Chain A
Amino acid sequence: MISEKIKNIKPGVCEYEIVHEDWVFRLLHYKGEPIYKTPVLICYAFINRPVILDLHEEVSVIKRLLEAGLDIWMVDWGYPSFADRHLRISDYIDYLDFCVDLVRRERKVDKLTLHGYCLGSTLAVIYSALYPEKIKNLIIQTPPINFDTENTLAIWAKSIDPRKISKALFNASGDLLNLAFLLVDPIRLIVGKYQSLINSFEDEKSVKDFFFMDHWIFDSPSVAGDVFEEFILRWYHGNEVMNGNYEIEGKKVDISKIDMPVLVLAAEKDHITPPESVIPFFEKIPSRDKKMLLSEKGHIGLSVSKTSHSKIWPEAIRWIVERS
């Protein structure tokens, strides 16, 4: 019975403690035995949940990082509710700065490694441009920095008026965002994927893997209304980070200040943030120690596929360890 196979599915394997909470935001510290001095702070996206980096034993990126002797911290942006509708991107940067300072103080270091995931990469890039003195290494995974791309999701994002959505719904709900992500590739995601599940009903492992992933996919927080407006209008419509006209609280975000070592993790078949979302940025930054690792998988496969765990992550971790 299929229900028997999925009885105990709960994404997330590594233990952590909540170091700080600030309304909806949290700073987590993963339990481990670090041997390297430089802490790694993961700045997750404000869409979906960070547990994709720790989905289950076999494909946990967090577990790999901990086993490599790294000290792992995570900013969790939580589940914004109606009461959080007026959060702004500057609030996210402000909390990121708070966390960076807290970790630096706690570990008595001047700089740390900042690892951004998807839209968390955009935040990480903005932060690194504003406070380069606090960042030793910058890692950006499936990063949307250049929003002037031709993938379907970008075409749609550039066509909508987010103000109408936030005026009507207050926040962009997780259900709405999920629907958009599924509509981008409806046959493969709605029919193909589930037909494959039907084909492998007897295979317990495949069924489990499928539901681990679906638990993550459909556990979708809302995006605060003001944040939704800002990232669609200023990032997608205006491509302001790349164009150099983005500012936070009056401070200009200048990517020419990103001169620390930079590691880019991108995915060839990524239909959400294709490699073009980062290549112009990668070419433009002055950093002399920069590297791009390209997975043959898609946006999520980069975190959870066995191929990525055998090819990309060992190399990525080596890069981080050498600079920690």
Chain B
Amino acid sequence: MISQDEAIELFKLAPKESFELLLRNIEIRRVVEKLWEKHQQGSISYDENFEKIYEEFSKFFYRPIEVAIFGIKQLSYLFPFVEFMKILESQNELWDAYYEFLGSAFSHLRLLSEIYFSYTATEPVKSVIDRFLDQYVDSIKSSVSEFTKIDLMHEYPLILPKKVFEDFDEAISSWRSFLEFFRMYRDLRKGAFVSAAERFIEIANNKKFSDLLEFLNTFSNEEAKEFDNLLRSEKYVEVQKKMIESLMDYIYHFRKFYEGIAENNPLNPFATISQLDEAFKRIFDLRRKIRELEKRIEEIERGVNR
């Protein structure tokens, strides 16, 4: 239906969402065509083809969850977790050893070349700038190595305020709660899909459709009716509410946890997003006061008394 080259061109031109939904629907159409063939040959039953349709139909809606999981993956590399710290320390020791080895090899070669040069040539003349830079780089190197010799980093949980770990606990418990409601949410949706599919199978096995489109439309209509009922049901609304709330709690507390780490690092040169948010709030409050004053001045100029 759409060639590989055209798909790339289409991705550039169409909204990202339209592009994704179109490709998913092309896949759905392929599967429906298989079902249509089976229907023409005899009867259909609930099989992997229906599972495939459900998978294509659902993936788009689970994006916020993917975003949340993707987010934690990204952040986990930016912030040190306890379990990572020991790995980092081991890596650090390995790097130190390797660095020392290279340093020794370099010194060895330099000494050799100096000896060689003293026999074969005069010492190269360095400019004042070059000599300064060599000296400065050496001094920086020695002070940096002093800093990195601290071996207590894996005890950092004791350095941070308790609130940071409370946010971490809240995030974990919200995530667990989210998973529980997400499973219920997924089951409700899957249940509705399967139930409508089974009804459609019953219709299809007792009727001959005139063409593929009639076959497809009947399937879509059965699914749409089932979802209309599900989405308004008390159970679904309650599960959806709890799922959204626990996902939001998870995002909020995880962010606060990371912000807590950043805010308690005296070397952190960046303001956290909550600190920026507070600043924007104050800017808006001030702006409203200015607007009020402007209105008052306008009224005074027009001679209006309050």
| Cβ contact within 8 Å between B248 and A167 | yes
Q: Return the chain B residue nearest A201 by Cβ.
A: B1
How distant is the Cα of A217 from the Cα of B2 in the complex, in angstroms? Answer: 23
**B14 part of interface (Cβ distance < 8 Å):** yes
Given the interface pairs A7-B13, A194-B21, A214-B15, the reply to whether A85 lies near B6 with Cβ below 8 Å is no
CB of A177, distance to nearest CB on chain B (Å)? 12
Q: B241's contact among A86, A159, A198, A219, by CB below 8 Å, is which?
A: A159
Which residues of A sit under 8 angstroms from B2, Cβ to Cβ?
Answer: 2
**B83 part of interface (Cβ distance < 8 Å):** no
Query: What total count of A-B pairs have CB within 8 Å?
Result: 132
Given the interface pairs A195-B28, A198-B25, the reply to whether A218 lies near B15 with Cβ below 8 Å is yes
How distant is the Cα of A201 from the Cα of B14 in the complex, in angstroms? Answer: 14
B218-253 residues at the A interface, CB under 8 angstroms = 220, 223-224, 227-228, 231-232, 237-238, 240-241, 244-245, 247-249, 251-252
| Cβ contact within 8 Å between A87 and B284 | yes
How distant is the Cα of A219 from the Cα of B17 in the complex, in angstroms? Answer: 10
Pick the interface stretch among A47-55, A180-188, A234-242, A286-294. A180-188
| Cβ contact within 8 Å between B15 and A178 | no
B1-39 residues at the A interface, CB under 8 angstroms = 1-2, 6, 9-10, 13-18, 21-22, 24-26, 28-29
Contact residues on A (Cβ < 8 Å of other chain), bracket: 35 or more
Pick the interface stretch among A124-132, A168-176, A298-306. A168-176
1/0 per residue, CB under 8 A from B, across A153-179: the answer is 001100111001101111000011011
| Cβ contact within 8 Å between A183 and B248 | no
| Cβ contact within 8 Å between B237 and A219 | no
Which residues of A sit under 8 angstroms from B252, Cβ to Cβ?
Answer: 164, 167-168
Which secondary structure characterizes the binding site on chain A? Answer: helix
| Cβ contact within 8 Å between A168 and B249 | yes
| Cβ contact within 8 Å between A169 and B251 | yes
Given the interface pairs A169-B251, A192-B220, the reply to whether A6 lies near B22 with Cβ below 8 Å is no
How distant is the Cα of A94 from the Cα of B227 in the complex, in angstroms? Answer: 41
Which residues of A sit under 8 angstroms from B216, Cβ to Cβ?
Answer: 195
Which residues of B sit under 8 angstroms from A186, Cβ to Cβ?
Answer: 57, 61, 227
| Cβ contact within 8 Å between B17 and A218 | yes
How distant is the Cα of A152 from the Cα of B2 in the complex, in angstroms? Answer: 35
Which residues of A sit under 8 angstroms from B208, Cβ to Cβ?
Answer: none
Given the interface pairs A7-B13, A156-B237, the reply to whether A199 lies near B213 with Cβ below 8 Å is yes
CB of A81, distance to nearest CB on chain B (Å)? 10
Q: Return the chain B residue nearest A9 by Cβ.
A: B13
Which residues of A sit under 8 angstroms from B64, Cβ to Cβ?
Answer: 176, 179
**B141 part of interface (Cβ distance < 8 Å):** no
6 smallest A-B Cβ distances: which pairs? A194-B25, A218-B15, A168-B248, A187-B224, A3-B9, A168-B251
Q: What is A's interface to B at a CB cutoff of 8 Å?
A: 1-3, 6-7, 9, 82-87, 91, 94, 152, 155-156, 159-161, 164-165, 167-170, 175-176, 178-179, 182-188, 190-192, 194-195, 197-199, 201, 211, 214-215, 217-219
User: 17 extra interchain contacts, Cβ-Cβ under 8 A, other than A165-B244, A183-B231, A190-B57?
Assistant: A3-B10, A91-B288, A156-B237, A164-B245, A164-B249, A168-B251, A168-B255, A186-B227, A188-B224, A191-B25, A194-B21, A195-B25, A198-B25, A199-B213, A211-B14, A214-B15, A218-B17
10 contacts between A and B (CB under 8 A): A2-B2, A86-B280, A155-B237, A159-B238, A165-B248, A168-B248, A187-B220, A187-B224, A190-B21, A198-B26
